Amino acid sequence: MKHAVIAISGSQFKVTENQKLSVTTLNLKEGEKSICDKVLLISDEKDIKVGTPTIENAKVEFEVVKNYKGDKVRIFRYKGKSRYRKTTGFRHQLTEIKITKISN
């Protein structure tokens, strides 16, 4: 089974073919296919290729499954004695992708 380490959306992920993965928002629509050429490492059953920093001519193909919002994160601010309390929150914009092909 082929494994690869890719850099996408400012983070590094270890991926295999047919794996689903949630990454920070990509500007792609659902069903679109794309290519990641920032491949840092590829390993087979027999050999390992490590890039400096990336491997030339290596690419990982993926398609966008869905765009969605993550769980809500609550931020609570409190100051004692003055009765000051403030609650804010946000939800991360995420994209779920499916790795279709790893090639070197």
Give the chain's end-to-end CA distance (angstroms, integer): 14
Into how many domains does the chain fold?
1
pLDDT at 104: 82
pLDDT at 81: 95
Q: What is the mean pLDDT of residues 6-11?
A: 94
Residue type at position 82: S
Strand partners, 15: 4
Residue 45 — very low, low, confident or very high, per pLDDT cuts 50/70/90?
A: confident
**pTM score, whole prediction:** 0.82
Domain that holds residue 18: 3-103
